[in-house]
Amino acid sequence: MALKDVGNKVPIYKLKTTEEVMKYYDEWGEKDKYNRDMVDWNYTGPEETVDVIKKYLANKHSLFFDAGCGTGLVGLQLKKFGYENFHGADLSQKLLDTIPKNLYQKLFKIDLNKRIELSDNHYDAVMCVGTFTFAHVKSDALDEFVRITKPGGLICFTINEGIYKDYGFDKKILNLKANNKWEEMEFFKSDYIASKDVNAWLGLYKVK
């Protein structure tokens, strides 16, 4: 899919390597610029994903893994609805340092393109919002999310429409279904960053 000129509207989409992405985020996190940009852009990923998962997860004590947690926007949104147990992971220490104190019980500096050094069947839910995008985390991370999620647990994510096929997410999602690793609960096109004409696929899956 063409980028719809989003590279000029969202400069990070032009980056090619993990190192470039990390450097960009480290600078973006200074002086609260990242959070201000998300407000200015009308970034709806956290709200849309939490609105979906809360329909299926009634237990407010559920333990969440927020993969690519950034500045904690998903955690803040979950907290609004009474959820309280969050672990977060991100590649940028600068962004992790901006997360409100006591919002997450644990924070990890992790490259999600590598094996996640956490035990199997550990989390009730995994959230991955805004992380499956250009030059960021690849589709193999979904295997790791399934591994660290308890049977019956939920995985909720967004995938930038521009990489959905190019990065193999379409095939990975089908493969996980074919191998009885998860079942689809919801999958639809999200507004995501409508102000920049950037859409994403939003998926919610239950681990078998």
Assign domain 6-207 one CATH number from 3.10.20.30, 3.40.50.150, 3.30.70.260, 3.20.20.140. Answer: 3.40.50.150
At 152, list the tokens. 């019956």
Residue spans of the domains in the chain: they are 6-207
**CA 26 to CA 196: how far, in whole Å?**
22
Count of beta carbons in the 10 Å neighbourhood of residue 150: 15
**3-class state of residue 137 by DSSP:** coil
Could you list the pLDDT tens digit for every one of the 208 residues in the chain?
A: 344 444 444 566 666 677 777 677 677 767 677 778 767 777 889 999 999 999 999 999 999 999 999 999 999 999 999 999 999 999 999 999 999 999 999 999 999 999 999 999 999 999 999 999 887 899 999 999 999 999 999 999 999 999 999 999 999 999 999 999 999 999 999 988 877 788 999 999 999 9
**pTM attached to this predicted model:** 0.87
Burial letters 90-102, b for 16+ CB under 10 A, else e? bbbebbbebbeee
